Homo-oligomer: A and B are copies of this chain.
Amino acid sequence: MSLCEQHLAETYGFSYVEDGGVTAAQGFSAAGVHAGFRADPNRLDLALVAADEPAAAAAVFTTNVFCAAPVQVSRAHLAATAGDGVKGDGPAYGTARAVVINSGNANAATGPVGLERAERMAAITADEVGCTADEVLVASTGVIGVHLPLGPFEAGVPVAKAKMVADRAGGHGAACAIMTTDTIPKECAVTFEGDDIGYPGCTFTVGGMAKGSGMIMPSMATMIAVLTTDAPLVAADAAGCLKRVVDRTFNKITVDSDTSTNDTCFLLASGDAARGEGRRPFEHDSEALDRFERALLQVCTTLARAMARDGEGATRLVTVTVRGAATAEDADRAARTVANSPLVKTAVFGHDANWGRIAAALGRSGARFRQEDVSISIMGLPVCERGLTCPFDEEEALRRFEAPEIPILVDLGAGNEQTTLWTCDLTHDYVTINGDYRT
């Protein structure tokens, strides 16, 4: 947990659950198994997350035109289970009993066959879990343009179900099963008390797992996250919270500017922590819902930062904060251009406080500002004040580059908006991972 995460937690009174993940919240169980999508028998490649009862569910999906079959199927399932399901590209919501995810095959660019197989993947899972296929959400990650085999689901889902019954708290296995080029599983959970929000004696948990911006050849990056909570939520409110939080967390990370065809983030809410209150849902616009959203923000911030830190080939987490922007869009545009600049990213790799590259990225970002108003600091060292270079201690800069996290702070001097993006450096290993697989 970084200082930033600790600060958030302290501000809002959240406690991190030790080794918490997707099964930390009451009412959920999970498992990860090797089902056969990958050749290596030691590698988990199928994750199953199940809710004991139908859970309020919300999701946000990739905006890529080449959106994968599982994205289309999950969207349709939420629409089918929602009384007033949202259409189009907005956050979808409805009801779900299970999420099934495979790695090793993205089921993208697979046409009608791909849709059919994603439906079968849901149906096989529904049979095991004991629900309708519509109540199953699906996600896939891995190679694209190759048909998804169904055999591993037929073999693997029953095994996962059995494993889940034997050990409900299989969140860690599930987090491992969705990894591609990730080097560590990503999971966390926080709790908050209900006493002062009308739920006396209730302790609510929000947890989740995510896979990072990894790519395993010849597949493509897919960000997938599953979030669970035992807070009692109306699905539409869950969707609203999820959309806002995703915009501030997963949509604020970038490893290589490539948006995947499969990006998916699910949120399931069981309400089980409020059993004593008859699972009375958090009211719309209430203090309780607000508290929940902050906890969700906390969990997603931790997961998103972990994804950026574990970007392909990365040696450093880079946080790019832009302040003083005229609009929120300008802040995002400026931060995103800096965070995606290969010149900035290779400079971090080279331990080079090369602010000229940051300035050049800002200058082409489209954000409105005057060069004589811009100040930049790297790792706390002012390097540019009001558009002009300022001398800094190069030795000290080199020392500060030893830290695992490199903060870049820009003040555009053009207004009051600000944002933070997370990225990583661009290294030889990135080129190796993405360029060398055939050699």
Contact = CB atoms under 8 A, between A and B. Distances in A.
A356 B219 contact: yes
A364 B220 contact: no
A76 interface: no
A213 to B, nearest CB: 11
Contacts of A217: 350, 352, 354
A218 B352 contact: yes
A218 B351 contact: no
Majority secondary structure of chain A interface residues (helix, strand, loop or mixed): loop
Contacts of A221: 343
A363 B218 contact: no
Contacts of A428: 428, 431-432
Given A64-B364, A431-B428, A436 B350 contact: yes
Given A66-B360, A66-B362, A363-B261, A372 B438 contact: no
B357 A220 contact: yes
B346 A431 contact: yes
A6 interface: no
B67 A347 contact: no
Question: Which of A109, A146, A256 has the most chain B CB within a 10 Å cutoff?
Answer: A109
A439 B401 CA distance: 13
Contact of A65 (B106, B108, B371, B436): B371
Interface stretch (A149-157, A181-189, A234-242, A383-391): A383-391
B261 A359 contact: yes
Interface in A342-393: 342-343, 346-347, 349-352, 354-357, 359-364, 369-372, 374, 384, 387-389
Contact of A343 (B110, B220, B356): B220
A130 to B, nearest CB: 35
Contact of A218 (B260, B354, B432): B354
A23 to B, nearest CB: 32
A401 to B, nearest CB: 10
A111 interface: yes
A230 to B, nearest CB: 35
A145 B257 contact: no
Contacts of A64: 360, 363-364
A434 interface: yes
Interface in A318-354: 340-343, 346-347, 349-352, 354
A364 B431 contact: no
Contacts of A372: 111
A210 interface: no
A349 B430 CA distance: 12
A195 B388 CA distance: 55
Contact of A67 (B108, B220, B261, B363): B363
A330 B108 CA distance: 23
B259 A343 contact: no
A426 interface: yes
Contacts of A109: 356, 359, 371, 384, 387-389
A145 B389 contact: yes
A365 to B, nearest CB: 8
Given A66-B362, A363-B67, A350 B437 contact: yes
A434 B351 CA distance: 11
A427 interface: yes
A286 interface: no
Contact of A256 (B143, B260, B343, B351): B343
A374 B111 CA distance: 12
A360 B261 contact: yes
14 contacts: A66-B387, A108-B356, A144-B359, A220-B356, A257-B342, A258-B342, A258-B343, A261-B356, A261-B359, A342-B430, A350-B438, A352-B438, A427-B435, A428-B428
Given A261-B356, A346-B431, 7 more contacts: A65-B370, A144-B360, A218-B347, A220-B356, A257-B340, A258-B341, A258-B361
In the A-B complex, the 4 residue pairs with the closest CB atoms = A145-B389, A350-B435, A66-B363, A346-B434
